[in-house]
Amino acid sequence: MASRVGPIAKAVLKELVIIILVVIWLIPVYAIIINGFKSNVAVVSTNALMPALPFTLTAYQEAWSALAQPLLNSLALVLPVSILSSILGALGAYYLNNLTRSFNPRDRIIGNIIFALVSLGTFLPYQATLMPLAILMVTINLLGTYWGLLIAYLTFYLPTGALLMSIFIATVPSYLIEAAKMDGASDFNIFFKVVLPVTMPGFISTLIFIIIESWNNFFLPLVLVTNPNSALVSVAVRYFTGGFGTLYNASFAAAVLASLIPLVIFIFLGRYFIRGLLALGGGAKI
Amino acid sequence: MVNITVRNVTKIFKSRNKTVVALNNVDLEVKSGEAFGIVGPSGAGKTTLMRIIAGLEVPTSGEVLFDNEVVSKDGKIIVPPEKRNIGMVFQNWALYPNMTAFDNIAFPLRNQKLPEDEIRKKVKEIAEILGISHVLSHYPRELSGGQQQRVALARALVKSPSVLILDEPFSNLDASLRDGARALVKKLQETFKVTTLIVSHDPADIFSIATRVAVLVDGKIEQMGSPLDVYNNPKSLTIAKLVGEIITGKGVVTTVNGKKVIKYGNLIFQPAFEIPANDSEEVEFGLRPEDVKISKDEKLEGFEFAGKVIVKVSSYSGGAFRIVVSPIENEEIELYALSDIPMKVGDVVNFFYRKDKLKVFPVK
């Protein structure tokens, strides 16, 4: 009997641990959602985990009317930023990969230097470069414009894309690239027909990562956006907190609305994200 | 088709604290339309040589010519691999996992920007020849090893290459499929008359496909000739072992009746030539299994009697009984022979060999 109970008990225990972890993780999410449906008084006067009674949509309506434009602004910025950063980053990563696999020792040194610069671009805290960046934007007359913001975002997320993709591209077996060379493919074709498809899960992981990171970026739009009509969602959610008080219910509703888009993207592409992470750990078996 | 000339090629790999000479002054000529084999132990530089010819590696010094055009010289690639018109079959076939068999085979043609209907026609033609028409819509992961290899061959041949390079093409195949695959490659080579370079550590690959072979040991070409010539007249024991099975032993040179012979226990071996060693010097002798017989008979046509031996082990492998024997006067040392009948352990039998096939090598 003991041998039959053993595995069942183990499985139950495992499930239990998972359930506990999920509950712990879901509590704040639940609180955010539920408090958005309360009145502002109810948020401060009732327990955060209490259901919303009476149930009201006022906060969501309020948040939506304030966030609709910033959501669009963010989408219009984040999509080009993440797609450009991922594709250009991947191309750069492939070039770096070629340099480091080159016969010529000089190429390998150049490759290493560029790689170090790219890493620096990724790891440098962008808060530290914010002032010079703002001054630069003023000088080139792009402060407060869409293009200025796009350039600023690309400055930080393109190296991230290149760094992440160079990790994924390094897992592409060199014989595949060599086979494509022997088959007469140009570098452009090797990249788009062989390297990119083979690293697709990694590419999509990179894309998701950059979407989420740039969507949540707060400092860049805080400093570089000057016109309230162009505000991005990460800054706009702060509108409900002022110097004299906070609209808690609207803040919660805004937080939910602001995370919906990255959440939807993650749900649709999440399986690639996980496959990409697996590829990092398990070599090139994609 | 193309004549490949490798002239004085040396390849040195340098890492932080190690220098490895992978190829040492290699000279080679592969004639147009010829099937040329490169055989050698692992680490001898076979793959490096092949990669240098393919343009995937650069020679440290020396040059490679296709016909009269220098394609690589002294640390520089002059004609890049994609311009050399080489069809290559990689050891693990290197099929593109994201493409169907059809797209894999069509890839080289698409790179040449041929019209799509011509591509379809060519792919179908080559697939027909290789018997893979029914799997063209499958992805590599859905194909068996043999089919994957045929797809790789088709991809290499579809663009009518000037040179076909095969890197250990059969080592990932099941033993039962290898003979068929070898026959297929040989047939294709003869049909397309393409200059072919086959690199392998398995002599069977070389014998079945190549008309000439170079033996590469420690980065140097030790011997070149027809496979049969290398098999029959190997310059060293290492080469002898590389191109086939060989029965060897260390014997002592002695003069009997004014003639130098090799004594191995009570066995006496006398080659058809003068042994290039002095009396009481040790030499290594070698005999191919087909040149040795053991029997209870006193005489065997075409064979020379070496002495009496005692059976120590009798086992069966690959269609013959493998009998391990020792000279009766010295059971410490052993030889083996193949026999079509099993023998009883402890039996004393006569050891015969073909005099003209006896090989003698200096002891290293």
Residue A260's Cα: distance from chain center in Å? 13
Q: Span B269-296, mean pLDDT?
A: 90
Residues of B with CB under 8 A from a CB of A: 54, 56-58, 75, 77, 80-83, 85-88, 90, 92, 94, 96-99, 107-108, 111-112, 155, 159
The answer to whether residues B208 and B151 belong to one domain is: yes
The answer to whether residues B80 and B147 belong to one domain is: yes
Counting the structural domains of chain B, the total is 2
Give contacts of B81 with chain A, Cβ < 8 Å: 178, 181-182
Inter-chain touch A181–B92, beta carbons under 8 Å? no
Local confidence band at A286 (pLDDT 50, 70, 90 cut-offs): very low
pLDDT for residue A280: 56
**Residue B9 tokens, joined:** 């090629």
**Quick check: A184 contacting B, CB < 8 Å?**
yes
**Quick check: A15 contacting B, CB < 8 Å?**
no
> Does the pLDDT of residue A277 top 80, yes or no?
no
The answer to whether residues B214 and B347 belong to one domain is: no
Q: Span B279-292, mean pLDDT?
A: 92
Q: With contact defined as beta carbons under 8 Å apart, do B247 and B44 qualify?
A: no
Q: With contact defined as beta carbons under 8 Å apart, do B261 and B268 qualify?
A: yes
pLDDT in tens, B19-78: 889 999 999 999 999 999 999 888 888 999 999 999 999 999 999 999 989 999 998 999
The answer to whether residues B163 and B263 belong to one domain is: no
> Does the pLDDT of residue B147 top 50, yes or no?
yes
pLDDT in tens, A142-157: 888 999 999 999 988 9
pLDDT for residue A282: 42
pLDDT in tens, B294-345: 998 888 888 999 999 999 998 988 788 999 999 988 888 899 998 888 889 9
pLDDT for residue A246: 79
List the domain range (segments joined by +) for residue B265.
247-362
The answer to whether residues B268 and B236 belong to one domain is: no
Give contacts of A105 with chain B, Cβ < 8 Å: none
> Does the pLDDT of residue A278 top 70, yes or no?
no
Angle between helices B175-192 and B116-130 (to 10 degrees): 130
Tell me which chain B residue has its CA closest to the CA of residue A188. Answer: B111
Q: Pick from B123, B79, B121: which is nearest to B100 by CA? A: B123
- Which residue in A103, A173, A185 is closest to B82 by CB distance? A185
The answer to whether residues B177 and B233 belong to one domain is: yes
Q: With contact defined as beta carbons under 8 Å apart, do A257 and A234 qualify?
A: no
The answer to whether residues B208 and B292 belong to one domain is: no
CATH of the domain at B123: 3.40.50.300
The answer to whether residues B77 and B31 belong to one domain is: yes
Average pLDDT, chain B: 91
> Does the pLDDT of residue B293 top 80, yes or no?
yes
Give contacts of B92 with chain A, Cβ < 8 Å: 175
What residues form DSSP beta bridges with B313? B324
pLDDT for residue A4: 60
Q: Span A177-187, mean pLDDT?
A: 92
Angle between helices A200-216 and A146-169 (to 10 degrees): 150
Q: Best interface-test mutation with B: which of A183, A189, A275 has the largest number of B CBs within 10 A? A: A183
> Does the pLDDT of residue A55 top 90, yes or no?
no
Inter-chain touch B112–A186, beta carbons under 8 Å? no
Q: Residue A186, SS3?
A: coil
Of residues A16 and A267, more confidently modeled? A16
pLDDT for residue A59: 86
The answer to whether residues B233 and B262 belong to one domain is: no
- Which residue in A176, A183, A189 is closest to B155 by CB distance? A183
Tell me which chain B residue has its CA closest to the CA of residue A176. Answer: B94
Q: Pick from B143, B136, B213: which is nearest to B172 by CA? A: B143
Cis peptide, bond prior to residue A54, ω within 30 of zero: yes
Give contacts of B99 with chain A, Cβ < 8 Å: 193
The answer to whether residues B213 and B293 belong to one domain is: no
The answer to whether residues B307 and B258 belong to one domain is: yes
Give contacts of B82 with chain A, Cβ < 8 Å: 181-186
Give contacts of A193 with chain B, Cβ < 8 Å: 96, 99, 107
pLDDT in tens, B3-33: 999 999 999 988 778 888 999 999 999 999 9
**Quick check: A278 contacting B, CB < 8 Å?**
no
B250-287 b/e with 16+ CB inside 10 Å = b? ebebeeeeeebbbbbbebbbbbeeebebeeeeebbbbb
Residue that is last in its domain, among B190, B216, B242: B242
**Quick check: A197 contacting B, CB < 8 Å?**
yes
> Does the pLDDT of residue A285 top 50, yes or no?
no
Local confidence band at A276 (pLDDT 50, 70, 90 cut-offs): low
0.90 surpassed by pTM? no
> Does the pLDDT of residue A283 top 50, yes or no?
no
Give contacts of A186 with chain B, Cβ < 8 Å: 82, 111
Give contacts of A178 with chain B, Cβ < 8 Å: 56, 81, 90, 94
Angle at B280 between CA B302 and CA B268, to 5 degrees: 20
Average pLDDT, chain A: 86
User: If you search the block for the tokens 């299994």, which residue do you land on?
Assistant: B289
* In chain A, % of residues over pLDDT 70: 94
CATH of the domain at B282: 2.40.50.140
pLDDT in tens, A75-121: 999 999 999 999 999 999 999 999 988 888 888 899 999 989 888 87
The answer to whether residues B210 and B252 belong to one domain is: no
**Quick check: A174 contacting B, CB < 8 Å?**
no
Residue that is last in its domain, among B242, B259, B283: B242
Residue that is last in its domain, among B221, B242, B263: B242
- Distance from the Cα of A172 to chain B's closest Cα (Å) equals 11
Q: How many inter-chain contacts (A to B, CB under 8 Å) are there? A: 62
